[in-house]
Structure 1
Amino acid sequence: MRAHLVVGGGEHAATVTDRVAASIPLRPAVRSHRAAAEGSDPVLEAIAHYLDRLLAALDLPAPVVADLVGRLLPAELATLLRLARSLDQAEVDDHGIVATVDIEVARLLDLPQRVARAFAAFVPVVARWEVLVAPEGVGNLPAPEPPVLTALREGADLLERLDAALADPEVTAVHLAPPDGPVGAARRADAEVLLALMGRTLTAVHPGGGSGVEHLPASPTEDLPSLERRGEEWLLHIGLPGVRAADLDLVRHDDELVLGCAGRTRRVLLPSVLRRCDIGRAGVAAGVLTLTMTPDERVWPRG
């Protein structure tokens, strides 16, 4: 276990962090991730600087600019990037981290994947700016400088690794220290749904008052997602602990599956061998989604 993250925003989060740190025999480094105390990040600075220039050239209304900036560069991004770098450094140094993460739990679990995909989508556009944008003569848009492309690639890579770490119970333990009352209940529900769509569960819930810690069932030990060949069909198994078939929305979008539950979504990239296959059947049993897929005869002709 590389990291123990205390989330949920309860007033007792700092106490929980100290308690978790004291319970771990390997004396991990205890760090706090707070944007106000640690400044910006080079990835964020490079992208924000160019985005400011680009949006100024487009001369868009202020509310539109604010919405675009908020979607691509959310307020929590500097903290997420620092957390990603801390996890990478912990792996290099072979030490652990116990930290209070001051990000609303649903945002912590959802944003890394979303922003990583947005950054990755911009990489080919920026890399071929003169081919894809300049010939069209779209106003006087400023060409991105080389650091922008580097920042997009680095940011996408950092956030993808952070997302993978959050989804892996062998890498991160997620301790929920929620406030009392309906707000805390809502945050727990959000965390459970989003983690289930990642294929895992909360590690523990720490209620206010310092007692009655609830240790939750661990995620399935089976290595999921997994792929199985059965005759001419492929079976894809995806872990969704605690999710029932009636609660799951499933949509295929190109080479991805979009999994939805209780208003939350997560995208799962199909293995390359299945990207030219059709979904025949889908079912959920014991917290595992199983998709039965067959080769698309338009791209896998017989005979």
Structure 2
Amino acid sequence: MSKTPNFLCYATRRKPPIEPDTNTISSAEEGNDNARKVVQVILWVVEGVYILWLFLLPYAPGDPVWAISSETVNSLIGLSLNFFLILPFINSVGIRLIDAPVLHPMSEGLFNFVIGWTFMFAPLLFTDCKRDRYRWSLDVLWGFQMFLTNTFLIPYMAIRLNEADSSYTPRKRSQLGTIMTNGAPIVGLIGGAACLISVLWALFGRIDGNFGSIADRCEFLVSYLLSERLAYAFIWDICLYIIFQPWLIGENLQNVQKSKVDLINYFRFVPVVGLVAYLLCLNLDEEL
């Protein structure tokens, strides 16, 4: 009589699901919250230093705002009249409704380079995912930024780090915000062209104006930065924009066309170019 073989089934006991360590999660959240608060404090300190050092104290190159010279005022008026170098170019083709002030091309180039970069920040601010944490008008903020640059952008960068308020109803985007967002590619092209032309103008503009060679112009730039408060402040602005541009773009990559996200994530660190690329690659088919 043959024996039937016994087939034994050794079933393994199912392991219970791993529960997330709430202590670890809460510690990570607390660490992120502490880091956020530290960054906020740093930004407010930078704002205080920016205002004190560049506007009020007499120790930086040039005159503080309370002792500004008439020469500096005249220079600022002249630079403003030559905004985006429109007036000099109009004069060059024979249209002379107003004669463009003749200033050193290096000072004009530096001024318009910073203004062109600032101009492109408008669509970036209006598409920022954290813009609603700033309860005041973004139109006014950007308008003041065009004239006083980081005096108003630094506080925005600090305020946008506030905790989100679930009870707050997001505002409808303003007419200016809608225009700047829908026209972001055009803004990028205009601002990028302004920055490029400003660099070329600084190096080669007013060839017949006895402003010297490129070496002479670079020598003037150094002396200009070390003697004029406005020029000195622009260097601060450029350094801060180099930080703020990749920061803001990096937190808003979801606004970019999906096929271009990796490209923008790389180019966001390139001054000016990264912002132009972001504006050209915005996904305007979705609500931003």
Name the TM-score, length of structure 1 as normaliser: 0.28
Larger of the two Rg values belongs to structure = 2
Name the TM-score, length of structure 2 as normaliser: 0.29
| More helix, by proportion | 2
| More strand, by proportion | 1
